[in-house]
Amino acid sequence: MPLQGKHALITGGSRGIGRGIALKLAEEGVKVAINYRQNEAAANDTVMKVRERGSDGLTVQADVSRPEDIRRMFNQVKAAFGSLDIFVSNALGEIFTYYRPPLGITPEQWDKAVDSQAKAFLVGAQEAAQLMGNDGRIVAITYRPAVLTAGWQPYIAQGSAKAALESLVRYFAVALASRGITVNAISPGVTEDSVLNSFPQDAQDGLRAWHRAGWTPMRRLGTPADVGNAVALLCSEEAGWITGQVIAADGGSSLMNPDFPLEIQRG
């Protein structure tokens, strides 16, 4: 599946990781629909950068926590592109509206996380499948540490929503395999120019120092461009035999053992 001339939709594509994905696909010749919820100026700026890379794109507003918005978004993409080759489910929602610990989170806050992650992927993948021919690509952005661990207590809703998202990836991978459509997830590590930037500055500085010290073996945080590269790989023709997988694009941070200090792990 050479990417030149293909069509992609990226939710949450106006900034951060979504923008990094959009720009990498644009460099490969993909025409990109950039979804945004509120920040139209950022979405327009991303489309401008897409055009600077020799491709083209458009913006489409939708709140992905609302199924009716998702269906409207796909109708707009169909009207503009006619078909779809790549769907990237990246939008995060307003994380701090459901950033609460287990004993304090409300059902309404829980729903906000699930609606913006798992339900958004469910509806988005259903809609994308209707627009795709054979050999399409569906990619979800997850965060595997939140799925497998529980130490970050206020992340319970997001972690649970991402766990459901990863399960959906596997089910859709089986459902769409006979059509040659692959469905995978990418789990970035802590990434610059992302939700990290919404944390207090001392928390950001602490995270950077922690990972540069060796908790990410490559001794840096990831970038949106790193994630964009991983998405482009999964969208390539050569990745057509990979489906239903969660791929870590984290510089090796998921390989570290939290039971032992770095001094022991380094040997």
Q: Which residues are catalytic?
A: 155, 162
φ/ψ of 39, rounded to 5, equals -85, 80
Residue with token string 């998702």: 70
Which two three-digit tokens encode residue 227? 């994630």
Neighbours of 199 (CB within 10 A): 13
C-alpha–C-alpha distance, residues 57 and 30, integer Å: 9
Amino acid at 214: G
C-alpha–C-alpha distance, residues 171 and 235, integer Å: 19
96 burial level (CB within 10 Å; 0-12, 13-18, 19+): exposed
Amino acid at 140: A
Contact in structure between 183 and 244 (CB atoms under 8 Å): yes
C-alpha–C-alpha distance, residues 35 and 13, integer Å: 5
Those residues whose C-beta lies under 8 Å from the C-beta of residue 222, and which sit 6 or more positions away, are 188, 189, 190, 191, 192, 249, 250, 251
Which two three-digit tokens encode residue 198? 């919404």
Which two three-digit tokens encode residue 51? 């055009």
